[in-house]
Every structure is written in C-alpha cells, then in structure tokens.
Structure 1
Amino acid sequence: MGYELIEVRDPADWEAYHAIRRQELFEAKGRFGIYNPNHPDEYVPQAHPYLLKLDGVPIGTTRLDVREDGVAIFRMVAITASAQGRGYGRIMGQLVEDRARAFGVTTLYVNAAETALGFYHRTGWVDHAWDPAELVSIAVNATQMRKVI
C-alpha cells in the first residue's frame, strides 16, 4: 500500500479535502449547512492543509497550524468513514509529526472530540489545557491535548 501525505494545492485535492471534512466532521455529526470551505483560517501563511492518500485515493485530512514558538496545532483531523478503524489515523499522525518536526516544532496541540480521545491517548497524547478560548463552535465539547515530539 502506498501512503502519501500531500500539502493541498491542486483544485481536485482541495475538493477532496473539503468533501472529507464536510462529511466526517460536520454532516456525520448532524451539522448541516455550516461548513465553510472558504474560511479564512485555511489560507493564512502558517496553515498547512494536508490530504492523506492511499494508492492515490484521498482517505484523510488535517491542517497543521505552525506557530513561531515551536508549537503547532493539529486541526480538523478526519478519516473517511469507510477507512476508519484500520490504522490510517495513526499513519497520518506519524506523517504529520514528521512534517511538524521539519518546521522545527517540538510540541503539538489538538482539540480532541470525545469520540477520538481513546485514539489520542493510545498514540501518546496527554490531556493538557492549552487555550480555553479555542473551545468554541465545533470544539465546544473537545478535550485539549498535547504531544511532545
């Protein structure tokens, strides 16, 4: 199997990126009509949107927001429903950690959905309140976590 983590640039990859996020993070949770593919946070210089492909097929997304203090935020993590539970989230996490290290990042933060807490704990993340102001909108019930890489 061939895994590829690409930084989203191509229009077809942007379409796949947004489709996965819209379906898995919004519509699958009953949040219809609120996903904004043109949200300004997607296009700031420190935002690095990634698409995980398996044998050329998009199966996962995330965005890595890199700060200047050696910290990055792992955002909007999603694996397609048909690919969940097969270890692809773990693979995407490892690939994103490699990218983060290349940016000089030593600490990652995430706002983890309740349904994903077991995954994050199993992959080395620890509960850590890092910015309560982040816990709004779709992250209102999230648990903040940290991972030193």
Structure 2
Amino acid sequence: MGYELIEVNDPADWVAYHAIRRQELFEAKGRFGVYDENYPGEREPNMYHYLLKRDGVPLGTTRLDVRGDGTAIFRLVAIAAAEQGRGHGRVLSQMVEQRARDFGTSILFVNAAPTAVGYYEKTGWHRHVWDAEELAGISGDCIQMRKMI
C-alpha cells in the first residue's frame, strides 16, 4: 500500500488528525488543555486538512491554506513522535507540495518552529518574513520561511 496523503473527511481520520496535532504541536511543548478541535479558524474556505498514512497507519498531519494569489501556507506540520526521523516529514512535504501545485500555487510559506528550521533549509526553504502579524500566539517564536515550487 505505501504512503497516501488523504484530505481528512472520515470521522476516524479526524480523530487521528487531531490526536497527532494535539500531542506533537501542543502537549509535547507543554501546552496542555488548550488545543481546540473545533477552533473556528480551522474551517475557513480554501483550508485543506491532510493526514499522511503509511500502510493505513496515520503518521503525520498538515493543513494547506491556499490563498488564491499563487501562494499557499503550509501549516501545523506534525509527525507522530514515534515516527520522527524516518523520512516521513520529507514524504509529507513532497506530497503537499504536489497538492499545492495542483491548486496553481508556485510559492509556499511556513511558520517554522525554531527546532525545524534546519530541516526546512535542507529541503529548499529560505528565511523570508512574509507576514509579521502571523508571529503571535503559538507561532510567536517561529521563523517565517518561503519555498518556490
């Protein structure tokens, strides 16, 4: 079966999606009790929620926000802790980049966690402030980056 990137629609996939995001992006960083599965900003038009699976097992998540001007934002990227360092993040990135191209996107943006900047630089991203107002809340310590695809 191998890898598949699915747009999250099925209730069981939503459960896996939220579990990975809650654990890796919030609780692993000491942010307990603040993750909101029903956060209103998650359901805007042109937001695509993806779950990376390998042989049917959920491994990672991201959201792609397509802006309609040839750009998109790669958001809330997470790989389950037990699966990190095995190349799944690169697979997720490649698959999401293809989805972005399919939407007519040529430039991707990301708010990279400081610990992930090296990964992004190795995979073709460059530091670039694209919206300083984004650097608030859980993104307050992030480094903004851009990638031409």
- TM-score bin, normalised by smaller chain: over 0.9
Structure 1 contact 20–78 (Cα < 8 Å) conserved: yes
Q: Which runs of 5+ in 1 are unaligned?
A: none
Distance 2:32 2:40 in 1: 20
Aligned to 1:105: 105
Partner Cα separation in structure 2 for residue 42 and residue 12 of structure 1: 18
Q: 1:48: Cα distance to partner?
A: 0.1
8 Å Cα contact 1:41-1:47 kept in structure 2: no
Letter in 1 for 2:74: F
The separation in 1 between residues aligned to 2:34 and 2:71, in whole angstroms, is: 29
Q: Does 1:69 align with 2:69?
A: yes
Query: Aligned-pair distance for 1:115?
Result: 0.7
1:39 alignment counterpart: 39
State the distance in 1 between where 2:97 and 2:41 align: 21
| CA shift for structure 1 position 51 | 0.1
Q: Match of 2:137?
A: 137
CA-to-aligned-CA distance 1:62-108 (integer Å, 9 cap, x gap): 00000010000000000000000011000000000000000000000
Pairwise CA RMSD = 0.7
Report the Cα offset of residue 39 of structure 1. 1.1
Match of 1:27 in 2: 27
Q: How many residues were matched structurally?
A: 149
Q: Distance in 2 between matches of 1:45 and 1:56?
A: 28
Measure how far apart 1:41 and its partner are. Answer: 2.1
- In structure 2, give the amino acid aligned to 1:29: K
The match for 2:92 is 92
Distance in 1 between residues matched to 2:142 and 2:73, nearest whole Å: 14
Query: Structure 2: which 5+ residue stretches go unaligned?
Result: none
Q: Distance in 2 between matches of 1:100 and 1:68?
A: 11
Misfit runs of 4+, over 3 Å: none
Residue identity (%) = 66
TM-score, reference length from structure 2? 0.98
Distance in 1, matches of 2:14 and 2:86, equals: 24
